[in-house]
Amino acid sequence: MNLNLSNITNRFSQISGVSGEDLSRCADFIAYGKYTFEKLLVKTPCDEEIPICEYCAACFANYSYVCALLSTPEKYVTANGLRNASKPESSLLSSARLLKEQALESVSHLTENSGFVFTGV
């Protein structure tokens, strides 16, 4: 089975809204999403299932991207000098998690049931 990294990248761009030069900075998230999703597979997808598997990998990449995005402190100074966060953190993270879970559910017949992936020592 070969998930196409270019297709995953295009899907990631559609999901995340990241494009152009910013997309090249997300290459590690995309590669990690592909790797993480492939580790969950216990059955080889047929040709018709490859696009949804690529979509799933893009959802995994998006979730990693959102987690990283929210872990960087971006603060802005308002007119009165107060600092406030610029991102709606909980809704963004919840949406990315839900999208990943729904995508994974759509290929549950190909994956481990637990959703847990041990990727290193």
pLDDT in tens, the chain (121 residues): 689 999 999 999 999 999 998 999 999 999 999 999 999 999 999 999 999 999 999 999 999 999 988 887 655 445 555 555 555 567 888 899 999 999 999 999 998 765 555 555 5
Residue 76's DSSP bridge partners are: 84
Question: What was the pLDDT predicted at 92?
Answer: 84
User: The domain containing residue 80 runs over which residues?
Assistant: 5-110
10 found inside a domain = yes
Q: Tell me 10's DSSP state.
A: H
79 found inside a domain = yes
Q: How far apart are CA 113 and CA 69, in angstroms?
A: 28
120 found inside a domain = no
What's the whole-model pTM score? Answer: 0.79
Looking at the structure of the chain, the number of domains it has is 1
**85: part of which helix (H) or strand (E)?**
strand 83-85
116 found inside a domain = no
Identify which of 60, 68, 63 has the alpha carbon closest to the alpha carbon of residue 8: 60
Question: What was the pLDDT predicted at 109?
Answer: 93
20 found inside a domain = yes
Identify which of 55, 52, 88, 54 has the alpha carbon closest to the alpha carbon of residue 70: 88
53 found inside a domain = yes
24 found inside a domain = yes
Question: What was the pLDDT predicted at 91?
Answer: 82
Which phi and psi (to 5°) does residue 76 adopt?
-125, 145
Q: Hey, is 64 helix, strand or coil?
A: helix
